[in-house]
């Protein structure tokens, strides 16, 4: 590119992580994912928000990339100039309710000379052979699930009807989707025909000890605060389905820890980062505040 | 006396002779008395008048007789001229009515003593005014004459006259009432003293304004006014008077409430209170002032008097703006009033913070926790007695209704927080999860050893006691067990533990101290933010402890432990003689504060402490027999386990000895020299220490009993391996046995424990009920088979327009049974509207919340709708796509417009309520296993069975499932009216296929009218549950709606069942499959069905029935209203 690079931009399928994303395994999810990847079995990550689904995918893409780098240096995954390991390409698409199939596959664009085909992120991932991560896949419009199906079974193909093409997925391609089952009977749910194309990994909040470790690492804060925050998280989650739609995620606890690191008083930090974030109900806020003030001196 | 006179007299006398004898004899006596005291002419006049009176009418001789009778006495008090006028007045009265004259003359001697002569005529006039020619009026007038002497004792004549006026006023309405008032007045006036006049004034006002209130007011006055402090009485009467002139004021109520209010405040504020009320009255609102009097005392429960004045003055401002608002304000029914009070008051009411505390406790404990006023637990009468103390029974935290210990709200709330944290601590840190077998961490376990040792009390103590005994099941040869004569597993661990103690009360007290100490220190450790409040509460508790030196020795040591447990570390005194024990006890208490202490450690510590304590005689000690305990914590720590090990042998020995019969408080075994020392000290019966207010009541045995069910459920496997696992439900006898021993219940029993006191019996019964209610097994009875009936007969034919016939799915035959069920559609009859109103008031906060949420849905109705073939404007994205498509050469999509669509929300929903007999189950009541399925085959018997079940349900004052359904409907209606969705509410029940009842509470097309709330009231448990046809009928109704989205909400309490709703061998499935088919039919019509059930066993059959439909099983029935609305919102938006 001729122009001076003013900001860090990467072509989507070349987006790789150069540092190992921190991830603390809670069970055998890493082995499972690796096994699934080796067999190219698509993976479904279930769990409430802020339980580390996205981080896990990042971690896995880095980990698998490293594996490739080390085991098969000749593989298509680059080894960057300084020889440091890099991740597999990771294409992340956050799904929303207006996300249509063409947003994933690609569409014709107008330009000076007429029209030009532009691949969508999924297509590019399929072609380049990285991990395509569809976050909160249930949010997407129903027509998107249709294009997912042939990619997730033995065919591993992507049909682009506007071009009249069928693309075979590249060797390294793997589709990973996540969704938050939230409530057991929520109307928004994955169809069985869709969900039975994945191996499912359940994510839930880590136990107090692990969570404390995660908080301490992520926010780079002292053990004590991390421990207390983890305890707080556990307490707040007891209110799930009894006033709270979802408990406090590890993420908000990390935010609180970060604020505490900056010298904000712990009670206040928890209030702004945790309490106010997770609910608008004054009574629930008050009772969470009470727990905060019980835990934090 | 002149001759002439003599003659006249004789003539008169003769004439009088023609009347009954008293006339003449009275005349004789009077004449004798008067002769000489009265001038002859006057005497003559008198006699003539007397004769005249006697002759006036048939009965007037009685008046004459009375005249003559009274004359001597009256004459003595009156000058001659006035004496004759007195007679003349009598004569006038006699012309009106002889009985008046009789009463007049009869009352005169007494009356004239207290009456100025010049008032005699007025008096007679006043009384006479009551006479209006009827018998009743004359009776009243006579009564007044008669009462006059007595009345005049406490009234001036002027007051009397006004009283007479009042009576006259009242008598226009009712003579009886006037008569009563006269009577009551006679009793009342002396008691009122100088305020009687004021009261008469008031009576006049009331009689003029609202005569109906006269009677009640007099009644009220008898209590309220009489008991009122004299200083305030007159001003209060004038206040009532002032208010009584106003429309719509009930003076008796004002009087009662006012008296209560005035009596309730300190004497220095009484005048002010009346003055405040006067001020409201001055502004013109009587309603408001009387409300103020009523509300005052309640307000004063929360605020001080000066704060009340503040509250009042805010009210006065409101008054200036709007009178009716002021009324609500002073009734304390307005938001402003609440806010003002809240701001003024430093007390914290449980009701206001209950939700917060509930969620708080829930978060801490990580399990469902209810918060209730302690009084409610006391009312249940299952063994708790202190309405003012916090406590818990393992699932619910009970707290005092209001906290007003500190001058600031924050501190009062902090107290709430401390006590609820402590109670939650018992749950969170496992007080009730005590297991008999689980080893303690700090001690050698003595429990099991003692358990076996107790049985064979004199057997040698096992020699290798250092060996930690494994959790061996105590053999059935164990004497103790046999003696108790019950299956050991029927007992709860806590009871087994307390069974070890000869003195259960002591055991319980000591255990409570240890366990509370443990919980306290755990709480402080886990919730450091609370430590400051917690410490200050402990300090407060400490400062109100009794003086150790005033207690007998054993109690002093117990108190000593409490003080340590509350954190006292200096100035600790203990009995000199028992310094060693004190030191050991201190070590134990401190051990409980260690981080790793378990409830089992508390138990083991209790065994040790009790062994030592039983050896201490509970004797009175002088102050000088106490001394400070050296503060040698270090040493304490070091003593460590070594000492204990040596001690163990002795301990067990001591314990076993104390188990022996006849062993009291150390009479025999204690060394001889000890006894000699103690000759002076009388042994006291041991009594439990004064309770610690913030720790409240701790009843481990009862709580474990009550919470065991839940624990089994929650912890699943954990307890299965433990001694909990084999728990079988206790029978009444076992429970009784247990409770008799339990120190939790402090009821005096019959002498030998054979006879149960009625209180205890009632309590046991309540307890048993409570346990059944909690037992998950009992609640989730496996649904037994509905008696199978192979139904005969063929298709049905409707005979009237409100009958509808539907097919039924036979899943085994895999085809429909044509026209199999007949649905009778009926409009629900109207009931009372109060249920609706009450629910709205009770659930106001929930309703506002839900409405708010529902209102948020509204804007979405105006959402931009994209991809339309026609609309307001071109939608850029699709338009571009279309252009591109055109360029590329493919067929463009024509949907390239968008518009804001107002009618986007178009929802029709039908709610189907289960009105089957089982909804009569009280939600707090146990479901008896298999009861549902004991239904007889025979239709007649079946109806009888159902009806008996129904009445059973109706008898209960508890809330029933159906009530919760109703509540849900009420709230729903309100919320739905906000949204403007079309909705129908239907109830269904029925009996047999030809009798499916379908009640219309609100039809889909019907507008909401006042009629609907009335119909809701009538929702009641009826018969069986044949869901299929009801669903089909509702589907039919929905299918006729042209709304975009249509929903069918099925709210039920269990699986579908009905007579004949089954096929042989596949009973349950038949109903389930038909229901499922009905739901599928609904879906085929484009209707989204949803099933909400409160049947905890629901998951199994719902999985089949609802398969890929949405459904939810509510864990707690009471959540239904809330959940229903949430689901509705979620489903339809």
For B370, the closest chain A residue by CA position comes to A242
Q: Determine phi and psi for B59, rounding to 5 degrees.
A: -95, 5
Nearest alpha-carbon partner for B983 in B962, B1011, B1012: B1012
Nearest alpha-carbon partner for B363 in A240, A123, A15: A240
Subunit contact A162:B366, Cβ cutoff 8 A: no
pLDDT in tens, B1084-1114: 877 888 887 777 666 667 777 766 667 777 7
> Looking at residue B774, what is its pLDDT?
58
Q: What percent of chain B has pLDDT over 90?
A: 0
A45 in contact with chain B, both atoms CB, cutoff 8 A = no
Give A215's strand partners: none
B1111 in contact with chain A, both atoms CB, cutoff 8 A = yes
For A242, the closest chain B residue by CA position comes to B359
Q: Which helix (H) or strand (E) holds B1093?
A: strand B1087-1093
Q: What is residue A227's three-state secondary structure?
A: helix
CB B144 within 8 A of CB B112: no
B75 in contact with chain A, both atoms CB, cutoff 8 A = no
Subunit contact B1112:A184, Cβ cutoff 8 A: yes
For A284, the closest chain B residue by CA position comes to B356
B370 in contact with chain A, both atoms CB, cutoff 8 A = no
pLDDT (tens digit, 0 to 9) for every residue of chain A, 297 residues total? 445 666 777 777 677 777 788 898 888 999 999 999 999 999 999 888 888 888 999 899 888 887 655 444 444 444 444 444 566 788 888 888 778 888 888 888 877 877 788 888 899 889 888 889 988 888 777 778 778 889 888 889 998 888 888 999 988 899 999 887 754 444 456 777 888 889 999 888 888 899 999 999 988 888 888 999 999 998 888 887 666 777 888 999 999 999 999 989 999 999 999 998 888 878 888 889 999 998 888
Average pLDDT value for residue range B564-587: 82
Q: Which helix (H) or strand (E) holds B399?
A: strand B396-399
Give B990's strand partners: B996
Task: State the DSSP string of B308-367.
Answer: HHHHHHHHHHHHHH-HHHHHHHHTT-SHHHHHHHHHH---EEHHHHHHHHHHHHHHHHSS
Average pLDDT value for residue range B522-530: 86
Subunit contact B355:A292, Cβ cutoff 8 A: no
Substitution target from A278, A291, A292 for chain B, most B beta carbons within 10 A: A291
**Comparison of pLDDT for B346 and A207, the residue scoring more:** A207
Q: Alpha helices, DSSP H only, in B97-195? A: 98-113, 120-128, 135-154, 157-171, 175-192
Q: Determine phi and psi for B160, rounding to 5 degrees.
A: -60, -45
Does the pLDDT at position B491 exceed 70? no
Q: Which helix (H) or strand (E) holds B874?
A: strand B873-874
DSSP state of A275: I
B359 in contact with chain A, both atoms CB, cutoff 8 A = yes
For B891, the closest chain A residue by CA position comes to A162
CB A43 within 8 A of CB A33: yes
The confidence band for B778, taking pLDDT boundaries of 50, 70 and 90, is very low
Please report where in the chains the tokens 């089954």 appear, as a residue: B1062
Residue A160 contacts by C-beta under 8 Å, 6 or more apart in sequence? Answer: A105, A106, A123, A166, A167
> Looking at residue A248, what is its pLDDT?
86
Average pLDDT value for residue range B300-322: 80
- CA dist., res. A278 & res. A62, Å (int): 31
Q: What percent of chain B has pLDDT over 70?
A: 74
- CA dist., res. B145 & res. B151, Å (int): 10
Q: How far is CA A208 from CA A26, A226, A235, A237, B1048, in A?
A: 12, 10, 10, 11, 43
As given in the structure block, the two tokens for residue B878 are 């699709």
Subunit contact A287:B357, Cβ cutoff 8 A: yes
Strand B626-628 versus strand A131-135 pairing type: unpaired
Tell me how close the Cα of A88 comes to any Cα of chain B, in angstroms: 33
Outline where DSSP puts E strands in A59-192. 90-94, 106-111, 114-119, 131-135, 157-160, 165-168, 174-179
Subunit contact A239:B363, Cβ cutoff 8 A: yes
pLDDT in tens, B757-767: 666 667 777 77
Average pLDDT value for residue range B854-878: 71
Q: Determine phi and psi for B373, rounding to 5 degrees.
A: -70, 140
The confidence band for B460, taking pLDDT boundaries of 50, 70 and 90, is very low
Subunit contact B531:A187, Cβ cutoff 8 A: no
Contacts of B877 in chain A (CB under 8 A): none
ipTM of this predicted structure: 0.80
> Looking at residue A42, what is its pLDDT?
92
Subunit contact A291:B360, Cβ cutoff 8 A: yes
For A293, the closest chain B residue by CA position comes to B529
DSSP state of A274: I
Q: What is the mean pLDDT of chain B?
A: 74
Nearest alpha-carbon partner for B863 in B897, B895, B901: B901
Q: Alpha helices, DSSP H only, in B35-79? A: 40-56, 61-77
- CA dist., res. B129 & res. B178, Å (int): 13
- CA dist., res. B1030 & res. B1056, Å (int): 11
> Looking at residue A74, what is its pLDDT?
42
- CA dist., res. B727 & res. B771, Å (int): 13
Average pLDDT value for residue range B387-396: 79
A284 in contact with chain B, both atoms CB, cutoff 8 A = yes
Subunit contact A287:B359, Cβ cutoff 8 A: yes
> Looking at residue B758, what is its pLDDT?
66
Subunit contact A187:B1110, Cβ cutoff 8 A: yes
pLDDT in tens, B80-118: 788 888 888 888 888 888 888 888 888 888 888 888 888
Residue B463 contacts by C-beta under 8 Å, 6 or more apart in sequence? Answer: none
Subunit contact B359:A115, Cβ cutoff 8 A: no
> Looking at residue B215, what is its pLDDT?
80
A236 in contact with chain B, both atoms CB, cutoff 8 A = yes
Tell me how close the Cα of A53 comes to any Cα of chain B, in angstroms: 25
């Amino acid at each position: 590119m001729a122009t001076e690079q003013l900001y860090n931009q990467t072509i989507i399928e070349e987006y790789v992580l150069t540092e190992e994303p921190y991830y603390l395994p809670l069970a055998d999810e890493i082995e499972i994912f690796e096994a699934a990847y080796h067999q190219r079995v698509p993976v479904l990550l279930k769990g409430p928000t802020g339980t580390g689904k996205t981080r896990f995918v990042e971690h896995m893409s880095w980990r698998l990339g490293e594996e490739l780098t080390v085991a098969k240096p000749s593989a298509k995954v680059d080894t960057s100039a300084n020889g440091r390991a890099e991740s597999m390409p990771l294409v992340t698409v956050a799904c929303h309710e207006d996300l249509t199939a063409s947003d994933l596959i690609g569409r014709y664009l107008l330009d000076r000379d007429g029209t030009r085909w532009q691949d969508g992120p999924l297509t590019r991932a399929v072609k380049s052979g990285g991990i395509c991560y569809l976050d909160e896949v249930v949010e997407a419009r129903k027509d998107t699930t249709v294009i997912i199906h042939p990619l997730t079974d033995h065919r591993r193909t992507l049909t682009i009807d506007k071009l009249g093409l069928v693309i075979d997925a590249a060797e390294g391609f793997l589709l990973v989707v996540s969704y938050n089952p939230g409530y057991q009977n929520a109307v928004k749910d994955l169809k069985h025909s869709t969900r039975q194309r994945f191996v499912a990994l359940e994510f839930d909040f880590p136990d107090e000890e692990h969570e404390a470790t995660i908080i301490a690492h992520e926010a780079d804060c002292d053990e004590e605060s991390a421990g207390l925050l983890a305890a707080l998280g556990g307490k707040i989650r007891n209110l799930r389905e009894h006033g709270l739609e979802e408990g406090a995620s590890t993420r908000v606890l990390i935010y609180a820890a970060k604020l505490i690191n900056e010298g904000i008083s712990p009670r206040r930090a928890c209030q702004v980062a945790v309490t106010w974030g997770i609910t608008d109900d004054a009574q629930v806020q008050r009772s969470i505040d009470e727990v905060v003030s019980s835990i934090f001196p | 006396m002149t001759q002439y006179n003599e003659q006249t007299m004789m003539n008169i006398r003769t004439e009088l002779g023609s009347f009954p004898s008293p006339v003449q004899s009275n005349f004789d006596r009077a004449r004798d008395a008067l002769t000489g005291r009265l001038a002859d002419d006057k005497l003559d006049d008198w006699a003539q008048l007397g004769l005249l009176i006697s002759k006036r009418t048939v009965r007037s001789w009685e008046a004459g007789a009375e005249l003559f009778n009274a004359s001597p006495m009256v004459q003595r008090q009156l000058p001659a001229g006035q004496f004759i006028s007195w007679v003349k007045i009598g004569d006038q009265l006699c012309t009106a009515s002889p009985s008046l004259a009789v009463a007049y003359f009869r009352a005169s001697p007494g009356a004239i003593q207290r009456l100025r002569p010049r008032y005699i005529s007025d008096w007679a006039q006043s009384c006479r005014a009551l006479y209006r020619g009827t018998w009743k009026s004359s009776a009243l007038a006579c009564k007044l004459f008669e009462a006059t002497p007595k009345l005049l004792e406490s009234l001036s004549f002027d007051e009397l006259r006004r009283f007479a006026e009042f009576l006259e006023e009242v008598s226009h309405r009712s003579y009886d009432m006037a008569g009563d008032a006269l009577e009551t007045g006679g009793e009342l006036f002396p008691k009122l003293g100088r305020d009687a006049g004021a009261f008469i004034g008031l009576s006049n006002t009331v009689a003029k304004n609202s005569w109906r209130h006269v009677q009640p007011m007099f009644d009220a006055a008898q209590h309220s006014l009489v008991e009122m402090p004299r200083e305030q009485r007159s001003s209060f009467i004038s206040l009532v008077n002032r208010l009584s002139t106003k429309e719509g004021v009930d003076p008796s109520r004002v009087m009662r409430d006012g008296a209560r209010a005035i009596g309730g405040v300190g004497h220095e504020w009484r005048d002010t209170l009346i003055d405040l009320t006067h001020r409201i009255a001055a502004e013109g609102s009587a309603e408001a002032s009387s409300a103020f009097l009523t509300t005052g005392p309640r307000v004063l429960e929360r605020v001080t008097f000066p704060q009340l004045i503040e509250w009042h003055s805010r009210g006065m401002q409101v008054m200036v703006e709007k009178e009716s608002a002021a009324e609500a304000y002073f009734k304390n029914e307005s938001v402003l009033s609440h806010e003002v009070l809240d701001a003024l008051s430093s007390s914290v009411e449980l009701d206001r913070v209950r939700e917060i505390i509930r969620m708080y406790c829930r978060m801490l404990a990580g399990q469902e926790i209810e918060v209730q006023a302690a009084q409610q637990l006391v009312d249940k009468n299952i063994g708790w007695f202190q309405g003012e103390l916090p406590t818990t029974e393992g699932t619910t935290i009970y707290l005092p209704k209001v906290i007003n210990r500190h001058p600031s709200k924050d501190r009062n709330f902090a107290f709430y927080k401390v006590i609820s944290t402590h109670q939650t601590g018992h749950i969170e840190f496992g007080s009730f999860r005590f297991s008999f077998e689980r080893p303690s961490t700090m001690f050698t376990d003595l429990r099991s050893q003692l358990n076996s040792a107790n049985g064979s009390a004199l057997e040698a103590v096992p020699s290798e006691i250092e060996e930690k005994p494994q959790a061996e099941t105590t053999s059935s040869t164990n004497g103790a067990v046999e003696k108790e004569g019950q299956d050991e597993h029927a007992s709860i661990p806590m009871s087994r533990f307390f069974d070890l103690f000869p003195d259960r009360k002591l055991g319980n007290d000591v255990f409570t101290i240890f366990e509370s100490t443990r919980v306290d220190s755990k709480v402080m450790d886990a919730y450091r933010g609370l430590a400051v409040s917690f410490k200050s509460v402990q300090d407060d508790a400490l400062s109100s402890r009794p003086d150790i030196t005033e207690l007998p020795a054993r109690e002093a040591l117990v108190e000593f432990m409490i003080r340590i447990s509350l954190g006292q570390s200096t100035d600790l005194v203990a009995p000199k003689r028992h310094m060693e024990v004190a030191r050991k006890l201190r070590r134990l208490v401190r051990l409980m504060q260690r981080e790793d202490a378990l409830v089992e450690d508390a138990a083991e510590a209790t065994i040790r402490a009790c062994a030592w304590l039983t050896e201490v005689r509970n004797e009175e000690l002088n102050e000088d027999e106490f001394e400070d305990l050296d503060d040698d914590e270090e040493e304490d720590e070091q003593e460590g386990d070594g000492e204990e090990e040596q001690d163990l042998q002795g301990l067990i020995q001591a314990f076993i000895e104390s188990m022996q019969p006849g062993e009291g408080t150390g009479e025999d075994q204690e060394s001889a020299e000890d006894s000699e020392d103690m000759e002076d000290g009388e042994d006291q019966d041991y009594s439990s220490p004064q309770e610690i207010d913030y720790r409240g009541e701790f009843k481990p045995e009862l709580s474990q009993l009550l919470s065991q069910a839940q624990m089994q459920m929650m912890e699943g496997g954990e307890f299965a391996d433990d001694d909990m696992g084999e728990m079988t439900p206790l029978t009444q006898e076992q429970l009784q046995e247990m409770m008799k021993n339990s120190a939790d219940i402090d009821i005096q029993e019959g002498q030998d424990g054979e006879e149960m006191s009625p209180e205890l019996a009632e309590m046991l019964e309540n307890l048993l009920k409570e346990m059944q209610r909690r037992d998950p097994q009992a609640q989730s009875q496996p649904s037994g088979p509905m008696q199978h009936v192979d139904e005969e007969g063929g298709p049905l034919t409707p005979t009237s327009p409100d009958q509808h016939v539907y097919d039924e799915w036979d899943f085994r035959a895999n085809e429909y049974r044509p026209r199999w069920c007949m649905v009778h559609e009926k409009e629900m009859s109207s009931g009372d509207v109060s249920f609706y109103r009450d629910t709205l008031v009770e659930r106001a906060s929930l309703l506002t919340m839900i409405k708010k949420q529902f209102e948020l849905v509204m804007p979405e109705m105006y959402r931009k709708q994209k991809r339309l073939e026609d609309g307001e404007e071109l939608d850029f994205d699709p338009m571009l796509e279309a252009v591109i498509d055109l360029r590329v050469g493919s067929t463009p999509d024509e949907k390239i417009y968008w518009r804001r669509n107002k009618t986007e929300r178009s929802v029709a929903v039908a709610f189907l309520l289960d009105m089957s007999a089982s909804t009569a189950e009280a939600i707090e009541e146990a479901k008896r296993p298999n009861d549902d399925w004991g239904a007889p085959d025979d239709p007649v018997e079946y109806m009888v069975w159902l009806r008996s079940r129904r009445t059973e349900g109706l008898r209960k004052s508890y809330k029933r499932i159906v009530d919760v359904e109703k509540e849900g409907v009420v709230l729903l209606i309100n919320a739905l009216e906000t949204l403007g969705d079309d909705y129908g509410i239907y109830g269904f029940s029925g009996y047999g296929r030809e009798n499916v009842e379908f009640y219309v509470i609100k039809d889909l097309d019907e507008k909401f009218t006042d009629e609907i709330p009335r119909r809701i009231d009538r929702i009641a448990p009826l018969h069986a549950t044949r869901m299929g046809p009801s669903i089909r009928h509702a589907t039919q109704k929905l299918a006729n709606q042209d709304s975009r989205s249509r929903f069918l909400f099925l709210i039920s309490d269990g699986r579908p069942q009905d007579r004949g709703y089954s096929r042989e061998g596949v009973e349950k499935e038949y109903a389930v499959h038909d229901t499922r088919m009905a739901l599928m039919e609904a879906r085929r019509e484009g209707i989204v069905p949803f099933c909400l059930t409160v049947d905890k066993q629901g998951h199994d059959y719902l999985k089949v029935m609802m398969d890929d439909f949405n459904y939810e099983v509510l864990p707690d029935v009471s959540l239904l209203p809330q959940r229903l609305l949430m689901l509705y919102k979620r489903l339809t938006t």
